[in-house]
């Protein structure tokens, strides 16, 4: 019985010893692997190379800061330009409006003179003079009237409101102007509203010279 127990104890001891050896080997392998990793991570460089890397790091940091400042300056400039643009659009017509107000003042004076004197001729002459000044003002700004009546219909300058059958005017010519048209520096800003001549439907075609000879 005692021998059997001793045998069991010895087997157990051998097992523990074998387990300890395996554990020790595993620990050694782990330590070796860690040492290899450390050797891979550690790089030896000279002091000159280290200083160069530090200078490059500083330069990259400064470049990044300059880029951020440039972007901020660009955004601020863009916002300032947008504000200036809106401000310009808002008051772009200020000079023209001031000149028109001077003409409005002339209208007020003409109306006041007509009322005080109860003279239609005075009022008419005042309005006529103001209309002349206004047309001159528009001309100075590049506004020109579009010629219409008696001219060949031009779809780029004339807006045909209605036709008129007539033999008194050449076909497709303007016979009447309902509203004047205008251009601004050569570009049509309002076409003239006109009536256009059309050949009467029942009008007989004119005879040629050969037909007249046969008759």
% pLDDT > 70, the chain: 79
The predicted pLDDT at position 212 comes to 52
Strand 192-198 and strand 174-179: pairing?
Answer: antiparallel
DSSP of 134-168, one letter per residue?
Answer: HHHHHHHTTEEEPP-TTSBP-TTTEEEEEEEE-SS
The predicted pLDDT at position 215 comes to 45
In this predicted structure, the answer to whether residue 6 has a pLDDT above a threshold of 80 is no
The predicted pLDDT at position 57 comes to 87
Q: Which residues pair with 188 in a beta bridge?
A: 183
% pLDDT > 90, the chain: 28
Q: Which of the pair, 126 or 37, is modelled with greater confidence?
A: 126
HEC assignment per residue over 34-101: HHHHHHHHCCCCCHHHHHHHHHHHHHHHHHHHHHHHHHHHHHHHHHHHHHHHHHHHHHCCHHHHHHHH
Task: Compute the average pLDDT of residues 132-139.
Answer: 90
- Average pLDDT, rounded, for the chain: 82
The predicted pLDDT at position 108 comes to 87
Per residue in 139-168, pLDDT (tens digit) is 998 999 999 999 999 999 999 999 999 989
Cα→Cα distances 177→20, 63, 143, 165, 173, Å:
117, 70, 18, 16, 11
* CATH code of the domain occupying 144-201: 2.30.22.10
Backbone angles phi, psi at 204, to 5 degrees: -75, 140
The predicted pLDDT at position 10 comes to 65
Least confident of 13-27, 72-86, 116-130, 166-180: 13-27
Q: How many residues does this entry show for the chain?
A: 215
Q: How many CB atoms lie within 10 A of CB 196?
A: 19
Per residue in 167-197, pLDDT (tens digit) is 899 999 999 999 999 999 999 999 999 999 9
In the chain, where the domains are located = 65-141, 144-201
């Amino acid at each position: 019985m005692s021998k059997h127990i001793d045998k069991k104890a010895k087997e157990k001891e051998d097992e523990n010893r074998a387990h300890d050896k395996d554990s020790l080997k595993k620990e050694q392998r782990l330590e070796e692997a860690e040492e290899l990793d450390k050797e891979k991570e550690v790089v030896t460089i000279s002091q000159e190379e280290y200083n160069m890397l530090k200078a490059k790091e500083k330069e990259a940091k400064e470049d990044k800061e300059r880029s951020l400042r440039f972007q901020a300056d660009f955004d601020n400039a863009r916002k300032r330009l947008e504000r200036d643009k809106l401000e310009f659009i808002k008051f772009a017509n200020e000079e023209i409006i001031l000149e028109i107000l001077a003409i409005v003042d002339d209208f007020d004076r003409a109306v006041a003179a007509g009322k005080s004197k109860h003279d239609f001729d005075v009022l008419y002459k005042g309005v006529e003079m103001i209309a002349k000044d206004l047309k001159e003002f528009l001309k100075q700004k590049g506004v020109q009237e579009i010629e219409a009546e008696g001219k060949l219909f031009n779809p780029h300058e004339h807006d045909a409101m209605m036709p008129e059958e007539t033999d008194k005017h050449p076909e497709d010519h303007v016979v009447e102007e309902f509203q004047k048209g205008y251009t601004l520096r050569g570009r049509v800003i309002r076409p003239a509203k006109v009536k256009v001549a059309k050949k009467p439907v029942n009008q007989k075609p004119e005879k040629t010279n050969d037909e007249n000879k046969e008759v």
